[in-house]
Amino acid sequence: MLGNAHSMATVAVKDLAEAGRFYEGVLGLKRVRAEGEEAIVYQARESKLLVYRSKYAGTNEATAVTWSVGKDVDAVVRSLREKGVRFEHYDLPGGVREGDVHVFGTLRNAWFKDPDGNVHSLVNE
């Protein structure tokens, strides 16, 4: 039933203006539309990301959004680090860390948080 439908990642934030500065200025997403003072929809290639205002922002401790950046994962990490993004480091079984990138065989993965603490993942797939 949903196999042919499009999906959209949804991230709760406390301050929509601050989120806009991060998602547009730091991550480089294109704003598609705003829903008043409550939500912004961003475009990232064929995907969309809905950022909306919520008092529950940042309460999810798991990965909220995964960005598939292909072989450029290390370059994307460097670029975001230069813009002030701090990367998370986790002790995960079967992996080793190369700087901010966790390596699991051929999988290269890095995690960072937005200003509200929502976890984002970069992968080389």
Type of residue at 81: R
In this structure, is residue 111 part of a structural domain?
yes
Distance CA 98, CA 114 (A): 22
Type of residue at 6: H
- Tell me if residue 82 falls in helix, strand or coil: helix
**Cβ(64)–Cβ(115) below 8 Å:** no
Which CATH number belongs to the domain containing residue 95 in this structure? Answer: 3.10.180.10
Distance CA 47, CA 44 (A): 5
In this structure, is residue 55 part of a structural domain?
yes
Instruction: Dump pLDDT digits (tens) for 68-110.
Output: 999 999 999 999 999 999 999 999 999 999 999 999 999 999 9
pTM of full prediction above 0.85: yes
Domain residues for the domain of 72 are 9-123
In this structure, is residue 4 part of a structural domain?
no
**Domains held by the chain: number:** 1
In this structure, is residue 1 part of a structural domain?
no
At 3, the pLDDT band (50, 70, 90 cuts) reads confident
